[in-house]
Structure 1
Amino acid sequence: MALVSAHPLGPRNPALVVIPEGRIPVKIAKSATAATALLLVAACGGGGESQQDESTPEELTVWAMGAAQDSLQQYFDEVEEKYQETYPETAVEVEFVPWDSLQESMNTAIAGGDHPDVLQVGNDQVSNWAVQGALLDITEQVDGWSAAGDLDQGALEYGRYDGVQYGVPWHAGVRTLYYRTDWLEEIDAQPPKTWEELVDVATAIEEEKGVPGFAAPTDFTNGIASFIWSNGGEIAVNNGGTWEGKLDSPETKEAIEFYAGLTTDEEISPQSYVGENELIPLADMANSKLGMYIDGGWALGSMEEQAEDPSVVDAISAAPLPGADGTAPAFIGGSDLAIFAQTEYPEHAWELLKLMGGKEYGQKWADAAGFFPVYPELLSDPQYTDDPVKQAAAEQMQNTKFFPATPKWNEADQDQKILPKAVLEIVKGDDPDTVLREANENLTEILNKPVE
């Protein structure tokens, strides 16, 4: 069976990474070494059914993000069994790395510590690790992979940086609108499809049930972005290699003011969500203290854990996100598979990546992890169309967008929270024109910083 271990690095107290004296920078030497090894192994070819030779590894290490679960371990057992049909002497070792330990783990690996051969990274993190020299260039391999043409092409493109393919999409997830089916039946309403309907349904819920009809937390870039995109706005666009912030464009400004106004003007979202993310609304939704809110498919499991009355969760369903005039685009979150630049076995790692990211095992992973496969043709499977919550997400996945594909997006959003802070300031009463002009200047400056 596949070996599994918890990664030794914990979520707190990041260690100071010291690069030993005389070490050649990883992004140059190690990437070149791995690429050269890949070319040499490919040139040697492979004969025979097992393709075993003296360069075959005894084991390959995979870093999977998050906590070890029985369903995920079973998945890797199956992967190892399938992989060993071709490479019978190679074990697949799996290390589960907590998401909040990834930075520390990667820093250590880049500096020459223990590293994986294949790893899972957030799809919005690919460019960040690529510029640090942590990921192998797999452009040629992906170009020659027949399954690549069947992947979601937007998700595949998001795994590229500066014209180079570093990641292959592995699973996807989108946010949808959660609502109480029983409450909407009582007020004779359907899930809202537009902003106007959202306000009307939320107002009716509050009048009937005495709880907020909708949640508009301000620390919620993913949700706010959908409002912007549905109104024809953008966060930033790339013009010939230069990023141009769009937070102060008329379309984006209108959407942000509408979102902020759900708290201040329409008053369908309470002040208690100002400055918060979606976690507090999740708990309220699970305990009949909220009518509707936006979150991902993974939230339903958390609701089941937090619900004081489990029957409440049975009455919660989902619908595509309401937009200005119809379904709003959603950020298609998820993970990519990549090869660590320092792997000693780039060809074998690629074969493992292809197996894990192919249609059969890609879908198995998505199902085991509670997400969706990244092959659009698979979304018509009854398991996604027959369940209302999954069906809503599958429909939403036909209308998606991505954040700026630059490593500087992490600084702009995760470190400085430019968009959430702007919304927060507007909710608190600051002038929208001033707030968005300054936020846009800051965003543009950060996105155009040189990538070192």
Structure 2
Amino acid sequence: MKYRSPALLGAMLLSSGLIACSSSGGSSDDAASGRTVLDVWLMRDSVSDAFQKEFEAGFEKAHPEIDVKIQIQEWDGIGEKVTAALASNDAPDVIEVGNTQVAQYAQSGGLTDFTDKVAELGGDTWLKGLAEPGAYDGKQYGIPYYAANRVVVYRTDLFRKAGVDATTIKTRDQWIAATEKLNRGGTQGIYLPGQNWYALAGFVWDEGGDLAVREGGGWKGGLDSPEALRAMAFYQRLQALGKGPKDSDESQPPQAEVMAKGQIAQIIAAPGGAAVVTQNNPELKGKLGFFPIPGKTADTPGAVFTGGSDLVVPAVAAHQKEALTFLRELTGDTWQKKLALTMSYVPNRTTLAGAVSADPGAAAMAVGAANGHATPNTPQWAAVEAKNPIKDYMTAVLTGRDAGSAAATASRTITTTLNSGS
């Protein structure tokens, strides 16, 4: 799964559909100039036109022997297109993929192993939520590119009216107290739909649990662990402080549109959700702020699901050396800072968080990204999301079913799905 560009952030995309694989186009070297043509696939909204032109010019100035050709790909159907490219004899040299998609491509043996290049590429400071899903069976195939995650988007005017200072909200208990205070002023303290399972996952990680864990040679669903049950209890407590529906997620109805229409003080969303709010209600322009999802203690922000992208190199790519040069440049400090400032992304390493300090939304994301996580690193996780027993479980608890029983049922479904590979 993968976050979109800031203007479109706020929902996770699992691409589907079919696009026929075509030739990478221009993969042969430029014999006349003696330059190596490096074919690169980046995804729609990954970079702006201006950044792409600046990067290409800067890269080729630094490496005149390489002619980099970036082709922008659509997310719709990209999974099938990448799979076909990896199995072909005419694959591009570098491909951007969603961070949690790396495992499914690595499983086929179609990716170049960069384990011995991790230190050279600055892997000691990579964001865990990008680096961990970029690895498979102990080997590093995906190189972290950029990240995005959820924060709390709030109405500054409603907070001020209620006498709540958002900068003081560092812990879950403070968050609950502030939300209760907002409710007393006639405001809906928070709009939290019952099936925002990404938010629940963060609470599970905060408690020390996980959605699924390795057990023996397979996987076991983790929603019925004591840690996950505590997380669901907190989610239930927070959700009860608003009027969000118990049987739908943040996209049904779109929560940013709901916030735009009413006196709603907070939503949990990526910062791009604020743009959707003001688009639907221009009167709220300048009245929205951001803070990281609070953690259990003030010294650690709440855990978040890290969306974003990794860069991979097909094993059959013709220009492995040049591809590594490309990775070194685009994921290095200089271009990561420029990308973060241009696109309001979180840079790929913790040491660069300060690059977005002047962007309130991105700065809040960067704080949370330091405690970022990914979904269980198995190619079969996509099948779990397709069935999504987590959503059914959350609705069951919020509508009165016993949490332990509902969690056990959901965990069994996750276990069966992950171990059947279906």
For the superposition of Structure 1 and Structure 2, which TM-score range results when normalised by the shorter chain? Answer: 0.7 to 0.9
The one-letter code sitting in structure 2 at the alignment partner of 1:14 is L
Deviation at 1:58, TM superposition (A): 4.5
Deviation digits for residues 59-118 of structure 1 (CA, Å, limit 9, x no counterpart) = 2221111248xx622222233223323543543222222223212322432453864211
Could you say what secondary structure the match of 2:264 adopts? coil
Give the match for residue 104 of structure 1.
Answer: 80
Deviation at 1:321, TM superposition (A): 0.9
Give the match for residue 205 of structure 1.
Answer: 182
Could you say what secondary structure the match of 1:290 adopts? coil
Structure 1: distance between partners of 2:39 and 2:397: 48
Q: 2:51 aligns with which of 68, 72, 75?
A: 75
The one-letter code sitting in structure 1 at the alignment partner of 2:60 is Q
The question of whether the paired residues in 2 share the 8 Å contact of 1:219 and 1:277 is answered with yes
Give the match for residue 120 of structure 1.
Answer: 96
Could you say what secondary structure the match of 2:68 adopts? strand
Give the match for residue 389 of structure 1.
Answer: 361
Could you say what secondary structure the match of 1:293 adopts? strand
Q: 1:171 aligns with which of 139, 142, 146?
A: 146
Deviation at 1:242, TM superposition (A): 3.6
Deviation digits for residues 372-399 of structure 1 (CA, Å, limit 9, x no counterpart) = 1122222134xx3344333322322232
Give the match for residue 149 of structure 1.
Answer: 124
- Unmatched 5+ residue regions in structure 1? 1-10, 18-51
Could you say what secondary structure the match of 1:256 adopts? helix
Deviation at 1:15, TM superposition (A): 5.5
Q: Highest Rg: 1 or 2?
A: 1
Give the match for residue 277 of structure 1.
Answer: 250
Give the match for residue 14 of structure 1.
Answer: 18
Give the match for residue 162 of structure 2.
Answer: 187
Give the match for residue 63 of structure 1.
Answer: 41
Structure 1: distance between partners of 2:369 and 2:307: 10
The question of whether the paired residues in 1 share the 8 Å contact of 2:311 and 2:327 is answered with yes
Deviation digits for residues 211-238 of structure 1 (CA, Å, limit 9, x no counterpart) = x321222332221111222233322223
Could you say what secondary structure the match of 2:193 adopts? coil
User: Across the two proteins, how many residue pairs are aligned to each other?
Assistant: 395
The one-letter code sitting in structure 2 at the alignment partner of 1:72 is S
Give the match for residue 191 of structure 2.
Answer: 215
Structure 1: distance between partners of 2:195 and 2:347: 28
Structure 1: distance between partners of 2:184 and 2:90: 58
The one-letter code sitting in structure 2 at the alignment partner of 1:416 is K
Q: 1:408 aligns with which of 369, 376, 380?
A: 380
Alpha-carbon spacing, 1:337–1:179, altered in 2? closer, same or farther (3 Å): same
Structure 1: distance between partners of 2:211 and 2:223: 6
Deviation at 1:417, TM superposition (A): 1.2
Q: 2:404 aligns with which of 406, 411, 433?
A: 433
Deviation at 1:402, TM superposition (A): 2.7
Q: 2:349 aligns with which of 375, 395, 404?
A: 375
The one-letter code sitting in structure 1 at the alignment partner of 2:44 is G
Calculate the TM-score normalised by the size of structure 2. Answer: 0.83
The one-letter code sitting in structure 2 at the alignment partner of 1:204 is K
Alpha-carbon spacing, 1:178–1:339, altered in 2? closer, same or farther (3 Å): same
The one-letter code sitting in structure 2 at the alignment partner of 1:448 is N
Could you say what secondary structure the match of 1:178 adopts? strand
| Mapping of residues 34-45 of structure 1, within 5 Å | none
Give the match for residue 286 of structure 2.
Answer: 314
Deviation at 1:179, TM superposition (A): 1.1
The one-letter code sitting in structure 1 at the alignment partner of 2:404 is D
Calculate the TM-score normalised by the size of structure 1. Answer: 0.78
Q: 1:137 aligns with which of 113, 124, 134?
A: 113
- Unmatched 5+ residue regions in structure 2? 1-14, 22-29
Structure 2: distance between partners of 1:67 and 1:334: 12
